[in-house]
Amino acid sequence: MTLTLTTDPDPSPDPDPGPSPSPNPNQAHGSFNWSSGAARGNHENLILSRCPRLASRFAAEFERLWLDLDPAPPPAPPPAAAAVPSAPAVGVAAAEATEVLFFPEARGARGAHVARLCGELEAARRTLDVAMFTLTHDGMADVLLAQHRRGCRVRVLTDGRQAKCTGADAQRLREAGIAVRLDSSFYAFHHKFAIVDERTLLNGSFNWTAQAACGNHESVVIFRGAGELTASFTAQFERMWSLFAPAAASG
């Protein structure tokens, strides 16, 4: 099992934190399902956060989903994407905030969240590392191809079984010259994260698929300027990249 546990402290006072689930809120998000396979063998991640504003965003989404289970009222649309501001560290611009995206979007806004994620990927200038359980979203794969063509180093880790499913983009990326490595073990390679220039982290439950973008209930958190957190994921990516090196290359 590969389980990345990382805390995301928010030590700064917030003049208007909004509703908080507890005086000292804790919130967990990532790829980790509560299952024996996830706990024992899958490659997973879980971020443990003590950021009140981030917890508040997830608490509000939970309440919306909870009410949607009541057959009486009509389902409420998901909240719009919202930044979760935090006190900037030294040398980090105030605009570099944490942002939460929830899927599916309201009908009038469909596609905006994927465009937002693609914009983050397009911002890469040096490196783009992707660890993705299922990658079948052609639009997002096209961004990786474009970045590769412009000279950005692009690396992709994905699940070996999912790489063979209908519409999978792994082979297309590999044929275009992008470095792709597969986890073909018994357990699932269940991560869903991307690292942009070792500075920005995109992480959550969101697979890069049309179904996740248009129908599933999913979440992605964009961390900008979170150096320690992003470094933890970068180190984990490097460990997995070495682990899944082809036998000929590793020998």
* CATH code given to domain 2-250: 3.30.870.10
Which of 96, 102, 106, 136 is closest to 117 using CA atoms?
Answer: 102
Residue range 76-102: average pLDDT? 57
Give the least confident one: 16-25, 101-110, 114-123: 16-25
pLDDT tens digits for 47-84? 998 888 899 999 999 999 999 877 766 556 666 666 65
Q: How far is CA 231 from CA 55, 136, 236, in A?
A: 22, 27, 9
CA dihedral 204, 207, 211, 216 (to 10 degrees): -20
Q: How confident is the model at residue 89 (pLDDT cuts 50, 70, 90)?
A: very low
| % of the chain exceeding 70 in pLDDT | 78
Q: Please pick, among 29, 113, 148, 190, the residue that the annotation labels catalytic.
A: 190
pTM for the full predicted model: 0.83
Q: Please pick, among 14, 68, 142, 197, the residue that the annotation labels catalytic.
A: 197
**pLDDT score at 220:** 97
pLDDT tens digits for 125-150? 999 999 999 999 999 999 999 999 99
| Cross-strand partners of 101 | 220
Known catalytic residue at 197? yes
pLDDT of 103 higher than 90: yes
Q: Give the whole-angstrom CA distance, residue 144 versus residue 135.
A: 11
pLDDT of 114 higher than 50: yes
**pLDDT score at 11:** 38
- List, in order, residues 6 or more apart from 31 with CB less than 8 Å away: 44, 45, 46, 133, 190, 191, 192, 193, 203, 204, 205
**pLDDT score at 74:** 59
Which two three-digit tokens encode residue 65? 């989903």
* Residue whose pair of structure tokens reads 């501001």 in the numeric block: 85
Q: Give the whole-angstrom CA distance, residue 137 versus residue 146.
A: 15
Q: Are 222 and 206 in contact (CB under 8 A)?
A: no
pLDDT tens digits for 218-228? 999 999 999 99
Known catalytic residue at 192? yes
Q: How confident is the model at residue 95 (pLDDT cuts 50, 70, 90)?
A: very low
Which of 115, 172, 173 is closest to 148 using CA atoms?
Answer: 173
How do beta strands 218-224 and 43-49 pair? unpaired
Taking all residues of the chain, what is their mean pLDDT, rounded to a whole number? 85
Q: Please pick, among 43, 137, 148, 192, the residue that the annotation labels catalytic.
A: 192
The better pLDDT of the pair 221, 85 is held by 221
Q: 59: how many CB neighbours lie within 10 A of its CB?
A: 18
